[in-house]
Amino acid sequence: MRLLHTMLRVGDLQRSIHFYTQVLDMQLLRTTERPDQGYSLAFVGYEGNPAQAEIELTYNHGVSSYELGTAYGHIALGVADVAAACERIRQAGGTITREAGPVKGGNTIIAFVQDPDGYKIELIQRDA
């Protein structure tokens, strides 16, 4: 078994595609339109499948927002330099909710970003 994708419900598919492709530098891998069923999908990710898992952005026609709930945590992305990634994301219009710095009680450098629908994305510093 391997992880294939994580699905997020989004209120504006084009806004979310823009965020994940332009702010987080993912690639739009494929889309699916299901007008008779009332939804549209966009899959985004890095390096294409099967190299890594993807994010499925699901837009249910006519639904512009969702309650995020308390069970969902975040998506994590590995980056070579968290501080530099935060600056690039900020310049691209992204929202940083926790600046780069060590995780509480440890040395790993992390930061948090928020997507247009309020989902949290953790940036974790990793060697390239």
Quick: pLDDT tens for 55-95.
Answer: 999 999 999 999 988 888 999 999 999 999 999 999 999 99
pLDDT at residue 51 greater than cutoff 90: no
Residues 14, 55, single domain; the answer is yes
Query: Is 5 exposed, middle or buried (CB count within 10 Å of its CB: 0-12, 13-18, 19+)?
Result: middle
Q: What is the pTM of this model?
A: 0.88
Report if residue 65 sits inside a domain. Answer: no
Do the domain assignments include residue 70? no
Based on the domain organization, do 9 and 55 belong to the same domain? yes
Regarding whether 54 and 14 lie in a shared domain, the answer is yes
Based on the fold, state whether residues 15 and 46 are members of the same structural domain: yes
The SS3 assignment for 108 reads coil
CATH code of the domain in which 92 resides: 3.10.180.10
- 66 within domain boundaries: no
Q: Where are the alpha helices (DSSP H) in 1-128?
A: 13-18, 82-91
Distance of alpha carbon 75 from alpha carbon 122, whole angstroms: 6
Within-domain flag for 68: no
Q: Within a domain: residue 112?
A: yes
Task: Fill in the amino acid letter for 98.
Answer: R
**The total number of structural domains that make up the chain:** 2
Question: In which domain, by residue range, is 94 found?
Answer: 75-125
CB 107 within 8 A of CB 101: no
Sheet architecture: strand order including 27-34: 5-9, 54-60, 39-45, 27-34
Q: For residue 52, which phi and psi values (nearest 5 degrees)?
A: -145, 165
Q: Give catalytic status of residue 122 as yes or no.
A: yes
